[in-house]
Amino acid sequence: DGGITQSPKYLFRKEGQNVTLSCEQNLNHDAMYWYRQDPGQGLRLIYYSQIVNDFQKGDIAEGYSVSREKKESFPLTVTSAQKNPTAFYLCASVHFGTGELGANVLTFGAGSRLTVL
Amino acid sequence: AQSVTQPDIHITVSEGASLELRCNYSYGATPYLFWYVQSPGQGLQLLLKYFSGDTLVQGIKGFEAEFKRSQSSFNLRKPSVHWSDAAEYFCAVSSGNTPLVFGKGTRLSVIA
């Protein structure tokens, strides 16, 4: 079945360590996104990429980095510069189009929960 | 800039009662509007969307929403709530190829 796979589901990190969250999609979607979710804050955009080898900062990009070397993959690195990285991270993807079934609708992965010890 | 306001942080309804979750948006052009639902520790699932046309849209699980341009609203409704509807609900807006902007969510509790 087509979908988005995020791994790991749970991750624990010590302060000062970088960690990378994986996001893979087999939907042949054009764009991919990373959102951060904190209780009562909704979803806030970290980074997004609309084409391979190109990405843009979202509202809260500081302390994060991404790459988009392949269409199906958009890993997120949480660096030691991120002051409060404990959160639930959601990856999403979308196909842009006009009239096609499912176009312009974000599909989400199941999320990764990062806890800094 | 686009923004979404969900005025109710938490709503409790009795099973079988009707439900309305409020959503107001700020956007200059005709928006693409969405409602998503999230169970604890899970990703988001699309309930319904509005792109154009009929302003009353039907979604999955018996939900519907009405786009009212004059009020900049896109409220979600369900005539009879089931215990399995307890979850968090997010309203979102975009222009089509811009990233979705989400509201802060409304947590729905259902009591017997």
- Asked if B105 reaches chain A (Cβ–Cβ under 8 Å), the answer is yes
Name the residue type at position A91: C
Question: Region A37-62: what's the mean pLDDT?
Answer: 95
The phi and psi torsions of A92 (rounded to 5 degrees) equal: -145, 160
- Asked if B49 reaches chain A (Cβ–Cβ under 8 Å), the answer is yes
Interval B35-66: pLDDT, tens:
999 998 889 999 999 988 889 999 999 999 99
- Asked if B99 reaches chain A (Cβ–Cβ under 8 Å), the answer is yes
Q: Is the dihedral of CA A68, A69, A74, A78 positive or negative?
A: negative
Does position B95 have pLDDT exceeding 90, yes or no?
A: no
With an 8 Å Cβ cutoff, are B34 and A96 in contact? Answer: no
B70 to chain A, minimum CA–CA distance in Å?
24
Q: What per-residue confidence (pLDDT) applies to B61?
A: 95
Question: Region A70-98: what's the mean pLDDT?
Answer: 92
Q: What per-residue confidence (pLDDT) applies to A101?
A: 65
Instruction: Provide, as residue numbers in chain A, all residues whose Cβ is less than 8 Å from the Cβ of B36.
Output: 108
Q: What per-residue confidence (pLDDT) applies to A2?
A: 73
Which residues, 6 or more positions from A77, have their beta carbon under 8 angstroms from its beta carbon?
A18, A19, A20, A21, A64, A65, A66
